């Protein structure tokens, strides 16, 4: 009976020795690679289990899935970057400035309409006439306003020259009071030098009939040179 027990002890010892040898060989054939946190063999090849998965060394967090250690590995493919279409802003139409065209306005005013005979003070009818003229300037950008006074032949040259200048000065002052720029208005008196009537039209001494005949010579010419604004 003792021999039988000894045989059993001997067999158990041999079994244990073989198991330890196998485990020792397996352990000696494996290394822990702390760099990649995997268990590798002597060839630095990761040791895998029966499912094809690598053994984790236990150092650090589990390693990321790789084709070498995961038979079900699917490579991550980043989705394509879609750049949104850039819609250019709608062009903003620039405000068009008012069109301008060369323009001129010419007005001949009878002196009898503006003034009493032999006077340089504006009559009410003369103010109304000038108001109408100034109103026309709203659609014109004036550069120069030529204002020239004339007189008939009655009286001396010096007197008629002075009278024509006084009348033109009165017209200018009135237009400036209505908003016309003073530096735009050019004034000149011509006296009796540029009559409209012909030499033989109004013959005779000073009389109501001759004065009426010479009325076209008593005048004020106003001419505007500038640009017309087209709205």
Backbone φ/ψ region at 18: left (φ over 0), alpha (ψ -120 to 50), beta: alpha
Neighbour tally for 175: CB within 10 Å? 22
pLDDT category at 182 given cuts 50, 70, 90 is: very high
Give 70: exposed, middle or buried? Use CB within 10 Å, 0-12, 13-18, 19+.
middle
Across the range 169-187, mean pLDDT stands at 92
Checking if the pLDDT of 126 tops 50, the result is: yes
Name the average pLDDT for the chain.
75
Q: Domain extents for the chain?
A: 26-70, 99-230
| pTM, to two decimals | 0.52
Across the range 156-177, mean pLDDT stands at 93
Task: Concatenate the DSSP letters of all residues of 150-208 into one string.
Answer: ---SSS-HHHHHHHHHHHHHHHHHHHHHTT--GGGEEEEE-TTSS-SS-TTTS-SSS-H
Instruction: Please say whether the structural domain 99-230 has been given the CATH code 1.10.645.10.
Output: no
pLDDT category at 176 given cuts 50, 70, 90 is: very high
């Amino acid at each position: 009976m003792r021999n039988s027990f000894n045989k059993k002890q001997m067999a158990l010892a041999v079994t244990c020795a073989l198991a330890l040898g196998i485990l020792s060989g397996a352990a000696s054939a494996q290394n822990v690679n702390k760099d990649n946190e995997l268990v590798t063999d002597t060839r630095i090849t990761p040791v895998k289990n029966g499912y094809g998965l690598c053994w984790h060394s236990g150092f650090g967090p589990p390693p990321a899935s790789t084709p070498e250690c995961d038979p079900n590995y699917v490579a991550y493919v980043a989705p394509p970057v879609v750049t949104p279409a850039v819609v250019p802003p709608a062009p903003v139409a620039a405000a068009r400035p008012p069109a301008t065209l060369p323009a001129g306005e010419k007005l001949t005013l009878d002196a009898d309409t503006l003034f009493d005979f032999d006077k340089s003070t504006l009559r009410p009818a003369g103010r109304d006439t000038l108001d109408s003229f100034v109103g026309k300037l709203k659609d014109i950008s004036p550069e120069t306003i030529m204002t020239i006074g004339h007189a008939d032949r009655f009286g001396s040259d010096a007197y008629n020259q002075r009278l024509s200048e006084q009348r033109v000065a009165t017209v200018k002052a009135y237009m400036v009071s209505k908003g016309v720029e003073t530096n735009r208005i050019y004034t000149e008196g011509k006296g009796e030098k540029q009559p409209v009537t012909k030499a033989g039209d109004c013959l005779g001494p000073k009389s109501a009939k001759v004065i009426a005949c010479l009325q076209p010579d008593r005048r004020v010419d106003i001419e505007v040179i500038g640009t017309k604004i087209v709205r």
